[in-house]
């Protein structure tokens, strides 16, 4: 073998070694610039309530800024589509939630597949939903009073949602179905605008995640009637569960989570999982989560992926039962 051939083989061998080591090297250096966290709803909503303090904590841990980028629209599917097409280099992550387990049953032409176009990172928060009303518009002090009030006024009471097909929407439809009342849904571009409308009196009530409603409840801007969970929230011990309020069998919780675009190097994903786990166990995040009525989940990686699969199936059944359709 001549000298040129030997040199060529050596170069090829070195190149193959470098390529094999590239993902690990990239993970070791990651992150070396700011990271974008796409939130598919406007600022002020439930997702945003958890995303911003988490991004701040992760920025401190990683030594690089994590920037929250709100891209609302179409029940969270617009932002999800943008995130799915982001470069999978470890510098874009996506924070969605239960809405994205609902979407496959409602939208015929989604621009993404939550199970194929993303890598599951971690379940981040699980606050229960709460039935909240504008007290100046609805003269009721309990869930049972509201049900009786609504039955006498079919089609006259409206509820705000974070968009057609959102968990807010389906929770309201399911509630109406189980109580035999007729409500009119009013969609908004996210929970933030919806809550502003509720506080301002443009809508009568909402079926909202406790995380985004908590501050407004404490401020007295809206009145909680019941939490849609098996147990009362430690943050609001005086608010009864829906079952205690006279409607057994109605339980709806929401959840928020993080994904990475498919193709993101696994070592980077693993490192983010470790950092998220660390962040969720800091005293500061625990305090914020508790204040928003949420537990601290411990579900990451493949286990979280399996959770999403089960949620897609569960919400498909709810969509079928409620009869909700989208054009």
Residue 22, domain member (yes or no): no
Residue 174, domain member (yes or no): yes
For residue 176, the domain's CATH number is 3.40.190.10
**Tokens 């176009």 found at:** 117
* Predicted local distance difference test score (pLDDT) of residue 3: 52
Residue 265, domain member (yes or no): yes
Residues 181-228 have pLDDT tens digits of: 999 999 998 888 999 999 999 999 999 988 889 999 999 999 999 999
Range of the domain at 135: 129-245
Q: How many domains does the chain have?
A: 2
* 178-184-185 Cα angle (round to 5): 95
4 or 140, greater pLDDT: 140
Same-domain check for residues 228 and 143: yes
Who contacts 223 (Cβ-Cβ below 8 Å, separation ≥6)?
132, 133, 134, 135, 141, 217
Same-domain check for residues 95 and 152: no
Instruction: With cut-offs at 50, 70 and 90, classify the pLDDT of residue 20.
Output: very low
Residue 3, domain member (yes or no): no
Same-domain check for residues 120 and 153: no
Mean pLDDT value of segment 289-316? 93
Same-domain check for residues 237 and 297: no
Same-domain check for residues 76 and 143: no
For residue 114, the domain's CATH number is 3.40.190.150
Residue 21, domain member (yes or no): no
Residues 88-143 have pLDDT tens digits of: 999 999 999 998 999 999 888 899 999 999 999 999 999 889 999 999 999 999 99
Most confident range (mean pLDDT) of 89-98, 161-170, 289-298 is 89-98
Cα 136 from Cα 148, distance rounded (Å): 17
Nearest to 47 by CA among 5, 85, 18, 76: 76
Same-domain check for residues 122 and 139: no
167 or 244, greater pLDDT: 244
Q: Could you say which of 212, 245, 278 is where a domain stops?
A: 245
Q: Could you say which of 245, 274, 291 is where a domain stops?
A: 245
What is the residue-averaged pLDDT of the chain?
89
Same-domain check for residues 211 and 145: yes
Q: Give the pTM.
A: 0.81
Q: Could you say which of 245, 275, 303 is where a domain stops?
A: 245
Same-domain check for residues 113 and 260: yes
Same-domain check for residues 170 and 200: yes
Beta bridge partners of 260: 119
* Predicted local distance difference test score (pLDDT) of residue 6: 47
- Counting Cα atoms < 13 Å in the Cβ hemisphere of 277 gives 12
């Amino acid at each position: 073998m001549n000298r040129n051939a030997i040199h060529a083989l050596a170069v090829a061998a070195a190149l193959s070694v470098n390529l094999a080591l590239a993902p690990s090297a990239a993970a070791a250096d990651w992150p070396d610039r700011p990271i974008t966290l796409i939130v598919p709803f406007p600022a002020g909503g439930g997702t945003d309530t958890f995303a911003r303090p988490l991004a701040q904590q992760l920025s401190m841990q990683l030594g690089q800024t994590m920037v929250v980028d709100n891209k609302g629209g179409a029940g969270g599917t617009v932002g999800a589509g943008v995130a799915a097409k982001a470069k999978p280099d470890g510098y874009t992550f996506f924070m969605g939630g239960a809405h994205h387990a609902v979407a496959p049953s409602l939208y015929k032409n989604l621009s993404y597949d939550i199970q194929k176009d993303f890598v599951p990172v971690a379940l981040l928060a699980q606050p229960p939903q709460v039935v909240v009303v504008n007290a100046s518009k609805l003269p009721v002090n309990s869930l049972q009073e509201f049900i009786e009030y609504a039955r006498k006024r079919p089609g006259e009471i409206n509820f705000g949602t974070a968009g057609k097909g959102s968990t807010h929407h389906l929770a309201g439809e399911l509630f109406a179905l189980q109580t035999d009342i007729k409500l009119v849904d009013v969609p908004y571009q996210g929970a933030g605008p919806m809550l502003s409308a509720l506080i301002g009196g443009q809508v009568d009530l909402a079926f909202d995640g406790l995380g985004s409603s908590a501050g407004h409840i404490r401020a007295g801007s809206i009145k909680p009637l019941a939490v849609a969970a098996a147990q009362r929230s430690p943050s609001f011990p005086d608010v009864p569960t829906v079952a205690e309020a006279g409607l057994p069998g109605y339980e709806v919780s929401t959840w928020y989570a993080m994904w990475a675009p498919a193709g993101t190097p696994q070592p980077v994903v693993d490192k983010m999982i470790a950092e998220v786990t660390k962040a969720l166990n800091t005293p500061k995040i625990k305090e914020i989560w508790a204040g928003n009525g949420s537990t601290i989940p411990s579900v990451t990686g493949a286990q979280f992926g399996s959770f999403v699969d089960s949620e897609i199936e569960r919400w498909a059944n709810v969509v079928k039962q409620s009869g909700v359709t989208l054009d």
